[in-house]
Amino acid sequence: MRKNEKFIGKCENYTYQGLGVVKYEGQPVFVKDMLEGETGEIVITKVLKNYAFGRCLQLLKSSKERVEPRCLIYKQCGGCQLSHMSKQAQKAFKRQRVQDCITRIGKIELEVEDVLSMEDPYHYRNKGQVPVGMKDDQVICGFYRIHSNDIIDMNECLIQHPLINEMVQIIKAQLQKYQIGSYFRHLLIKVGFESKEMMVVLIVREEKIPHLEELVRVICQQEYVKSVIMNLNQRNDNVILGDKETLLYGKSTIQDTLMGLKFNISSKSFYQVNPIQTCVLYEKAVEFANLTGKETVLDLYCGIGTISMFMAKKAKHVIGIEIVEDAIKDAKKNALLNQIDNVEFVCSDAGTFASEIAKNNQHLDVICVDPPRKGCDQKTLESILKMSPQRIVYVSCDPATLARDLYFLSQNGYEVKKVQPVDMFPQTTHVECVNLIVRK
């Protein structure tokens, strides 16, 4: 294969990033925006040792699962990779992605359940993280171009809550009016789906911002704004939030309701970004836990205590563990707010705490884990084995690290009973899973 070489090829399947896989001279060529079964004229854009990348110059045969993306900047923005796929095709892609990981990495012969998806897969995000930049003396607010740090300006993101889109445009207009866009790095905006309460976090490069009072005054004219925070970030990396925060208006948290429970959410605390599908995910997690009211449950990586409190409604006692101190503070407040007294929260590394419980031979019936994308570390997994719970409910946002951890557990006395994908992030390649693992 040579760069700029053209050929006619048929898309056979997908990479985990959603790129179409087309074979040429026996080698795979990865092509963006091509669907399984489609035939097109391909030009090679980059050649590597065992594979290449290509671009489809024209489709000669289209798939019935192809749809016209509703987003105007879909091809430039790297946020949504699957908007050209129908809802059914997205479900099939995500299920197959999970199945491939479970089979190849997990070495587990188990049929993955059908994906639980949304009826209306748009405007579901309750959190927006929008980069701010300058171009030709104009303020731009949008998302990064794929594989770059260039910001694609946007007026509306179709997967964000409409109130977030509205607030981005309000702030953008003020930054342009006062010519202060260069002081800003990001806008972080959170909104409660039930409460409609909004938090605006202005992430800035310097502490003293000209016309800051005027900006905050305009933001607060929107009745749903309950909190405005300035976050100072002078780092030279891609971390969005800095350490120093100043409350400019209102309170330091907003409140939302999920499945009948109230939650206070701060700027740094983790809260699932798709409340509609979060209910689906958590209901399945509670179902897998099979609680009767007699069990002691350990919830590792508990965040602000969402799963912990849903488990507590049906368990005897729940212990939630989280390393982020602000999240634990919020979790404790949330338990008081909801008058739940059979749950306790501890600020600790998950592996360290699990190891201590294992040493003390403390009995646990169910362990729930909801780790970050990197999955559980070895110390946590080994501690889980020592505690020997009857059931493990594993919530995962990455099929590959999930499969790795399931392989370890399946080799050490546990059996994977169910793998249930939940589409928390429609239009993207990401997929969440809730899994039931039982002691053999």
pLDDT tens for 356-384 read: 887 887 779 999 999 999 999 999 999 89
Whole-model pTM?
A: 0.91
Pair (306, 430) in one structural domain:
yes
227 membership: H or E segment, kind and range: strand 225-232
Query: Is there a domain that residue 249 lies in?
Result: yes
- Give the max Cα distance, the chain: 67
Q: What is the pLDDT of residue 360?
A: 83
Q: Mean pLDDT in the chain? A: 95
Which of 41-55, 136-150, 332-346 has the least mean pLDDT? 136-150
Q: In the predicted model, what is the mean pLDDT of residues 312-323?
A: 95
Pair (191, 224) in one structural domain:
yes
Range of the domain at 313: 93-119+274-439
Pair (300, 241) in one structural domain:
no
Q: What is the pLDDT of residue 326?
A: 85
Query: Is there a domain that residue 88 lies in?
Result: no
Residue 238 burial class via C-beta count within 10 angstroms: exposed 0-12, middle 13-18, buried 19 and up: exposed
CATH of the domain at 202: 2.40.50.1070
Domain finish residue from 205, 223, 258: 258
Catalytic residues: 397
Query: Is there a domain that residue 150 lies in?
Result: yes
> Does residue 211 register a pLDDT over 90?
yes
Q: What is the pLDDT of residue 361?
A: 78
Pair (27, 168) in one structural domain:
no
Q: In the predicted model, what is the mean pLDDT of residues 336-364?
A: 89
Pair (293, 360) in one structural domain:
yes
| Residue 197 DSSP class | -
CATH of the domain at 366: 3.40.50.150
Query: Is there a domain that residue 87 lies in?
Result: no
Pair (382, 235) in one structural domain:
no
Pair (323, 358) in one structural domain:
yes
Pair (249, 279) in one structural domain:
no
Contact 36, 11 (CB under 8 A): yes
Query: Is there a domain that residue 72 lies in?
Result: no
The better pLDDT of the pair 315, 145 is held by 315
Domain finish residue from 233, 258, 283: 258
pLDDT-derived band at 342 (thresholds 50, 70, 90) equals very high
Domain finish residue from 40, 61, 82: 61
Give how many domains the chain has, as a whole number.
3
Pair (237, 288) in one structural domain:
no
pLDDT digits (tens, 9 = 90+) for 288-317: 999 999 999 999 999 899 999 999 999 999
Residue 389 burial class via C-beta count within 10 angstroms: exposed 0-12, middle 13-18, buried 19 and up: buried
Query: Is there a domain that residue 406 lies in?
Result: yes
pLDDT-derived band at 351 (thresholds 50, 70, 90) equals confident
The residues with which 189 forms a beta bridge, in sequence order, are 128, 200
Query: Is there a domain that residue 86 lies in?
Result: no
pLDDT digits (tens, 9 = 90+) for 66-98: 999 999 899 888 789 999 999 999 999 999 999
Contact 417, 434 (CB under 8 A): no
Pair (140, 101) in one structural domain:
no
Pair (26, 101) in one structural domain:
no
Contact 390, 438 (CB under 8 A): yes
> Does residue 119 register a pLDDT over 80?
yes
Query: Is there a domain that residue 263 lies in?
Result: no
Pair (290, 428) in one structural domain:
yes
Please report, rounded to a whole number, the percentage of residues in the chain having pLDDT higher than 70.
100
Q: Which long-range contacts (CB under 8 A, 24 or more apart) does 256-262 make?
A: 256/126, 256/192, 256/193, 256/194, 256/195, 256/197, 257/192, 257/194, 257/195, 258/194, 258/282, 258/306, 259/283, 259/310, 261/306, 261/309, 261/310, 261/334, 261/338, 262/334, 262/337, 262/338
Q: What is the pLDDT of residue 237?
A: 86
Alpha carbons 356 and 365: distance in angstroms, whole number: 17
CATH of the domain at 48: 2.40.50.140
Number of DSSP helices (H) and strands (E) in the chain, helices first: 9, 21
pLDDT-derived band at 62 (thresholds 50, 70, 90) equals very high
Contact 21, 51 (CB under 8 A): no
pLDDT-derived band at 352 (thresholds 50, 70, 90) equals confident
